[in-house]
Amino acid sequence: MTAELPKVHQADPSDPAFGPRVTLTAPLVLQSGESLAPVTLAYQTYGTLNAAKSNAILVCHALTMDQFVCGVHPVTGKRGWGEDIVGPGKVIDTNRYFIVCANVLGGCMGSTGPKEINPTTGRAWGLRFPVITIRDMVLAQAKLLDHLGIEKLLCVIGGSMGAMQALEWAVRFPHRVYSVAPIAGSYRHSAQNIAFHEVGRQAIMADPDWAHGNYLEQGSVPKRGLAVARMAAHITYLSEKALHQKFGRRLQNRDALSYGFDADFQVESYLRHQGASFVDRFDANSYLYITRAMDYFDLAAENGGVLANAFKGSNVRYMLISFTSDWLFPTEESRAIVRALNAAAANVSFVEIESDKGHDAFLLDEPEFHKTLQGFLDGCAEMRGLPKRGPL
| Cα separation, 14 vs 374, whole angstroms | 35
Q: Which stretch binds a copy of itself (CB under 8 A): 114-122, 204-212, 313-321, 363-371?
A: 204-212
Cα end-to-end span (Å), the chain:
54
Cβ count within 10 A of residue 370: 16
**What 3-state DSSP class applies to 64?**
coil
97 or 287: CB nearest a copy of itself: 287
Q: Does 248 help bind a copy of itself (rule: CB under 8 A)?
A: yes
Q: Which of 48, 95, 192, 342 binds a copy of itself (CB under 8 A)?
A: 192
| Cα separation, 313 vs 385, whole angstroms | 24
Q: Which of 96, 189, 281, 359 binds a copy of itself (CB under 8 A)?
A: 189
Q: Does 257 help bind a copy of itself (rule: CB under 8 A)?
A: yes
Q: Does 35 help bind a copy of itself (rule: CB under 8 A)?
A: no
| Cα separation, 127 vs 121, whole angstroms | 14
11 or 232: CB nearest a copy of itself: 232
21 or 224: CB nearest a copy of itself: 224
Catalytic residues: 160, 326, 359
Q: Which of 247, 282, 350, 369 binds a copy of itself (CB under 8 A)?
A: 247
Q: Which of 194, 211, 336, 344 binds a copy of itself (CB under 8 A)?
A: 194
Q: Does 188 help bind a copy of itself (rule: CB under 8 A)?
A: yes
Cβ count within 10 A of residue 28: 19
Q: Does 199 help bind a copy of itself (rule: CB under 8 A)?
A: yes
Min separation Cβ 184 and a copy of itself, Å: 15
Q: Does 302 help bind a copy of itself (rule: CB under 8 A)?
A: no
Q: Does 27 help bind a copy of itself (rule: CB under 8 A)?
A: no
| Cα separation, 323 vs 325, whole angstroms | 6
For residue 199, give Cα distances in angstroms to 100, 106, 134, 299: 33, 20, 21, 24
84 or 356: CB nearest a copy of itself: 356
**Helical H runs in the chain?**
7-10, 134-148, 161-172, 191-206, 215-218, 223-237, 240-246, 266-278, 284-296, 307-310, 331-343, 367-383
Cβ count within 10 A of residue 229: 30
| Cα separation, 233 vs 227, whole angstroms | 10
Give 213's Cβ-side CA count (13 Å radius).
Answer: 17
Q: Which of 77, 122, 149, 260 binds a copy of itself (CB under 8 A)?
A: 260
| Cα separation, 188 vs 168, whole angstroms | 11
Min separation Cβ 252 and a copy of itself, Å: 11
| Cα separation, 97 vs 92, whole angstroms | 7
234 or 312: CB nearest a copy of itself: 234
| Cα separation, 325 vs 356, whole angstroms | 5
Residues between 90 and 149 with contacts to a copy of itself, criterion CB under 8 A: 127, 130-131
| DSSP secondary structure code for residue 77 in this structure | -
Q: Does 265 help bind a copy of itself (rule: CB under 8 A)?
A: yes
Q: Does 271 help bind a copy of itself (rule: CB under 8 A)?
A: yes
215 or 247: CB nearest a copy of itself: 247
DSSP 98-117: EEEEEPPTT-SSSSSSTTSE
Q: Does 246 help bind a copy of itself (rule: CB under 8 A)?
A: yes
* Alpha-carbon 154 to chain mean position: 19
61 or 189: CB nearest a copy of itself: 189
Min separation Cβ 68 and a copy of itself, Å: 28
| Cα separation, 269 vs 253, whole angstroms | 10
Residues between 330 and 359 with contacts to a copy of itself, criterion CB under 8 A: 330
238 or 381: CB nearest a copy of itself: 238
Q: Which of 11, 37, 49, 243 binds a copy of itself (CB under 8 A)?
A: 243
Positions touching a copy of itself (CB under 8 A) are 32, 34, 127, 130-131, 188-192, 194-196, 198-199, 201-203, 205-208, 224-225, 227-228, 231-232, 235, 240, 243-244, 246-249, 257, 259-261, 263-265, 267-268, 271-272, 275, 288, 292, 295-296, 298, 301, 327, 330
